[in-house]
Amino acid sequence: MGRVVPTVDDLLAAPVGVVLLDRLEAAERPVAPPFWALADSDPAAVDRATRAVGALSSGRLLHVALGAADHLAGPWSSGAPGSLALAYELAPARRALAELLWARFREDLVAGRQLGLQEHWTDLAQPPWPTPPGFTDLAAVYGNGEFTFSGLWTVSPPPDDVHDDLVATWEMYQGEVTRWRLPVRPGARVWGIDHPADWVALVERYPRTAARSHAGWELPGPNQSASDVALLASAPGQHAVRTAVDRHVLPDWRAVACDYDGVHLSWAGFLTAEGFVSDLPGGGVTMLRYWGSERTLWLADVFGEPEPLGPPVLSGRVSGVTGTDVRQGNPSRLQADRAALAHRLNRPPAPRPSGY
């Protein structure tokens, strides 16, 4: 499957893309609301932001992008429709900023997949229902089918700058977070998503029409006011909302698993496809949603032996959550992690070490 390489125009059309540009300009304004988009665009601030991007690391860029996606375009943010309407309206004034950003970072954002170095993070939180072994019930899905609960999430090694952002995005609030390396065996079949068209192609090849209306705000839903949603719906070039949908189509994860072992969303895919409503040629709409970052949803066990890693670099400012190193002086957590991974991978439980 050929992946589509995104362009500057794709960034300017994407919900996460336009709020990222808003936050980059906001960093150069003397006063900027933290949870609401700027009401106007100042050419001098855009020029300063453009110069600042020239010295920005990819980690800091992704830190800004993750915060913008959550606060200004997130599915549970009450102000998201109003902020997105402003960000779309003002995006053309920030085109020079987008062009420099994309020229500097696009290659890294597209090519950042490192399948041989996949990491699985866990806080050992348990959902309020019994979970079957991994990969056994791919029809058990979140929402309308945006992902399957029976899959396993991994992430390519992320820069330290975004570790706090990731535990917030992934809602890891239950305890200390650990990291494990899951080496991927050669020959794993992975569908890549760098662009909304890659998600559309996946949905069209393995379609499943949702049996109920969408519960999230995007189409729209409960957290946003009708007036803000109407304002966003009328914004030029927006791809973040539909007020009426005849069919909501998502991947049939069981069918996907017949041909592919996993689906990978790159950082470029996150910036351009997360929250992007796409019209389908055969009618209806689709949207990649609730993935939240670069990561891979695995539909089969294609891994070698899990290896414990050092803890993520967490400050504690996200609900007090910190990391822990299971390699050093934490045998009970090491054993608990091994048991949880064996369950998620649908493998026999790891034997308990002697002395327990």
pLDDT tens column, 134-175: 999 999 999 899 999 999 999 999 999 999 999 999 999 988
Q: Considering Cα of 159, then 162, then 163, then 167, what sign does the dihedral take?
A: negative
Statement to judge: residues 321 and 176 lie in one domain: yes
pLDDT, residue 195, reads 96
pLDDT, residue 122, reads 95
Q: At what angle do helices 15-26 and 43-53 cross, to 10 degrees?
A: 100
* Chosen domain end from 110, 129, 144: 110
Rounded-to-integer distance, Cα 236 and Cα 95, Å:
15
Compute CA distances 107 → 6, 102, 111, whole Å.
10, 8, 6
Statement to judge: residues 53 and 173 lie in one domain: no
pLDDT digits (tens, 9 = 90+) for 198-247: 999 999 999 999 988 776 666 666 667 777 888 999 999 999 998 888 89
Statement to judge: residues 27 and 163 lie in one domain: no
Residue 198 is assigned to a structural domain of this protein: yes
Residue 234 is assigned to a structural domain of this protein: no
Residue 46 is assigned to a structural domain of this protein: yes
Rounded-to-integer distance, Cα 135 and Cα 346, Å:
7
pLDDT, residue 356, reads 45
pLDDT, residue 59, reads 96
Statement to judge: residues 61 and 142 lie in one domain: no
Residue 225 is assigned to a structural domain of this protein: no
pTM score: 0.95
Domain that holds residue 331: 115-210+247-344
Residue 201 is assigned to a structural domain of this protein: yes
pLDDT, residue 228, reads 83
Regions of the chain where pLDDT drops below 50: 356
